[in-house]
Chain A
């Protein structure tokens, strides 16, 4: 079945760049998404990338997709304390449901 995996934890200093990585197994994934979840809250859609793209940039966020290796990354430039949260990658195949990873907890130290 489909599987999405992420590393559990990342700690960076304020002002540095953060890179959160994700791998997926389903080669028929059409769209891949990044969501942010703050404590006690729902999921906020940050950005998404279509599977035929290599890169997408949206302000401080850069998404890189290596379709051959089924590897997705989210780079956050100039990371701020307000970026501390759990980040989920998710993929979508034909049935339109999303398959999520277990999330990466990003801790930003002042």
Chain B
């Protein structure tokens, strides 16, 4: 069974640029959630995708957007990057059935905005 994978591992961007981060779900999982983890903090929920539709969103501006594909992989796009967007971006996959909704996390993409 393949776990959750994310790419790239690290990324450096300049303020105002746009970035796309990618996530492949664990086999059999149909739901993907994205989190932002600033240094020294716990992860903050950005949004969740289920069956290619956004299924919930945290307190993040519209310049954070996403996609889920038919194979359940996902992308996180951030436009007009700001310095405060520097963080570890975590993707988690889960199965939306059965009740426990255990979320399994990938290793993350570390984004640095200069």
Spell out A's residues near B (CB within 8 Å): 4, 31, 33, 35, 41-45, 48, 50, 88, 90, 92, 95-103
Contact = CB atoms under 8 A, between A and B. Distances in A.
Given A48-B102, A101-B42, A102-B42, A95 B107 contact: no
B112 interface: no
Contacts of B108: 41-42
B100 interface: yes
A34 to B, nearest CB: 12
B58 A97 contact: yes
Given A100-B43, A101-B42, A103-B42, A44 B101 contact: no
A95 B54 CA distance: 12
Contact of B55 (A48, A96, A99, A100): A96
Contacts of A42: 4, 6, 90, 105-108
A50 B98 CA distance: 13
